[in-house]
Amino acid sequence: MKRYMSFRNKNESISFQIEKRSVFVISFLTLFLLLFFVVGTGLGDTRIAPIEVIRTIFGTGSGEYDFIVQNLRLPRAIVALLVGAALGVSGAILQGIIRNPLASPDIIGITGGASVAAVSFITYLSGAVSIKLLPLAAIAGAITASLLIYVLSWRDGVTPMRLVLIGIGISAAMSAATTLMLVMSPFFSAGQAYIWLTGSVYGASWEDVYPLLAVNLLFIPLALFYAKALNVQELGDEIATGLGATVQKHRFVLSFISVVLAGSAVSVAGAIGFVGLIAPHIARKLVGRPFGSLLLASALIGGLLVFTADLIARTAFYPLDIPAGVFTAGVGALFFLYLLFRNRHDL
């Protein structure tokens, strides 16, 4: 029995293989996520049966739950899924580029750059400029931090070790700058900034869904297109170069994809931590190391993690609405310590 399934177009310009086990796992995750999405959207102060949720989504319901589902819960749920998917894929790419299981957007400084820009915006510009421009500021901060990391890491090319070490240093500097601004900012601005830094999809609307959906639909397939480059880079720079791969070019493009995905997610939901670290690890346990299936599984698991965290945040402590980042950070910190302990001999 064949272990792999092959796919190719007529002129064979595009071809790839995927394990049958990975197809089964990804299909199961997709179906489970859809089911959980419908059930979770119906949970809350007003409980709605799954069949009513489906009818309301497709516009065939009685109209009784239209406002609750269409305006309050559905955009928030979709944003949670998209944010988690973007962070999961971004983390998987970084772990592949750096060849380090501890890499993620929040650990090597990408989220830190977005945080500095967002807190600066809230502290100094929120009264003079529309708050709707906050996502653009966060994305600009993430891109600026990543370019700084990349430039400082360059010496006849960028190596994974220099990238991660300089990234951790930039992350620490960004964290210090953010803390300094919080201490010096007015009380109201500091409160807003703390909520953003914790990470939450509270108040998400359809205006948040559309740009985030566009980024995911464009850059996740682009990441899948470069999955072969990630597989080759895992062999090491010298072997990858010997096989004809343009390592530095692919590394820059993949880094850019990772930054855009992480920056867009953080710009909408704030600094939700550790999803980019946890999701690829769970995905790797389920589908193995090939990046074609790993990226898809990371997207699904990342979406499931953020959606679950937000579901707990808005239902378990009602009427309080706890930021989802509290739960991802709590689980993620323990998971990070576990990874450090498991890989202690390699550090």
H, E, C per residue of the chain: CCCEEEEECCCCCCEEEEEHHHHHHHHHHHHHHHHHHHHHHHCCCCCCCHHHHHHHHCCCCCCCCHHHHHHHHHHHHHHHHHHHHHHHHHHHHHHHHHCCCCCCCCCCCHHHHHHHHHHHHHHHHCCCCCHHHHHHHHHHHHHHHHHHHHHHHECCCECHHHHHHHHHHHHHHHHHHHHHHHHHCCHHHHHHHHHHHHCCCCCCCHHHHHHHHHHHHHHHHHHHHCHHHHHHHCCCHHHHHHCCCCHHHHHHHHHHHHHHHHHHHHHHHCCCCCHHHHHHHHHHHHHCCCHHHHHHHHHHHHHHHHHHHHHHHHHCCCCCCCCHHHHHHHHHHHHHHHHHHHCHHHC
Distance of alpha carbon 116 from alpha carbon 110, whole angstroms: 10
CA distances to 10, 222, 230, 289, 317 from 7, in Å: 10, 17, 19, 19, 48
Distance of alpha carbon 330 from alpha carbon 91, whole angstroms: 18
Show the tokens assigned to 85.
């998917």
Distance of alpha carbon 152 from alpha carbon 157, whole angstroms: 11
State yes or no: pLDDT of 164 exceeds 90: no
Mean pLDDT for the stretch of residues 235-244 = 68
* Between 159 and 27, residue with greater pLDDT: 27
Burial class (CB in 10 A: 0-12, 13-18, 19+), 186: exposed
Average pLDDT, the chain: 82
Q: What is the model's pTM?
A: 0.86
pLDDT tens sequence across 101-111: 777 887 778 88
pLDDT tens sequence across 263-298: 889 888 888 888 888 899 889 888 888 888 899 999
State yes or no: pLDDT of 241 exceeds 90: no
pLDDT of amino acid 1: 44
**Least trusted range by pLDDT, from 114-118, 219-223, 228-232:** 228-232
Q: Dihedral (C-alpha) 202, 208, 223, 249: value to the nearest 10 degrees?
A: -110
pLDDT tens sequence across 328-341: 877 777 776 776 67
CA distances to 51, 113, 119, 239, 299 from 281, in Å: 34, 24, 30, 25, 12
pLDDT of amino acid 166: 85
| Contact of 298 with 280, CB cutoff 8 Å | yes
pLDDT tens sequence across 87-96: 999 999 988 8
Mean pLDDT for the stretch of residues 31-43 = 93
pLDDT of amino acid 22: 84
pLDDT of amino acid 301: 93
| Contact of 271 with 141, CB cutoff 8 Å | no
